[in-house]
Amino acid sequence: MKLGRLSPNSVFGVLLCGVGGIWTIIEAFRYIGLVNQLRPASNLKLWPLFVPVYSMIYLTTMAKELNKCISERGLSVPKANDSIVLAFIFNLVNLYSMFSTFNKVADAVGQ
């Protein structure tokens, strides 16, 4: 299965300007689509990303779905950080962890 790759550095675009924030949201949309493709049993939706506080909580759900995928496939990839504290305080670190872990999963699945 050939999966697309995400750009973990897009997360830090939020710090630069509004366009960087749009890039981060687009990458989050791609992440949700790719995780749903990788694990059809997952039920990730796009709408929670637009709800202000719930979107921070939803980051942990997104990371947990990726971790389930890693466990189900038995991949030797370190799991994504799914800490609720990081999601609220340093959500950029959490997103960066998810995107870079997804790239490792895509490499492992593609081989």
- Asked whether the CA dihedral 20, 24, 30, 31 is positive or negative, the reply is positive
pLDDT of 45 above 70: yes
> pLDDT tens for residues 57-77?
898 999 999 999 999 989 999
Nearest to 80 by CA among 24, 6, 16, 1: 6
- Cα separation of 64 and 97, whole Å? 12
Predicted pLDDT at 111? 65
pLDDT of 50 above 80: yes
Q: What are the start-end ranges of the E strands in 5-107?
A: none
pLDDT of 55 above 80: yes
Which residue bears the tokens 């995928």? 69
Q: What is the four-CA torsion angle of 110, 35, 40, 59, rounded to 10 degrees?
A: 150
> pLDDT tens for residues 70-108?
999 899 999 988 888 877 888 888 888 888 999 899 888
In this structure, what token pair is assigned to residue 95? 């997103």
- Cα separation of 54 and 80, whole Å? 19
User: Rounded to two decimals, what is the model's pTM?
Assistant: 0.84
- Predicted confidence band of residue 47 (pLDDT cuts 50, 70, 90): very high
In the chain, domain spans: 8-110
Nearest to 81 by CA among 106, 59, 108: 59
> pLDDT tens for residues 20-44?
778 888 888 999 998 998 888 888 9
DSSP character at residue 46: S
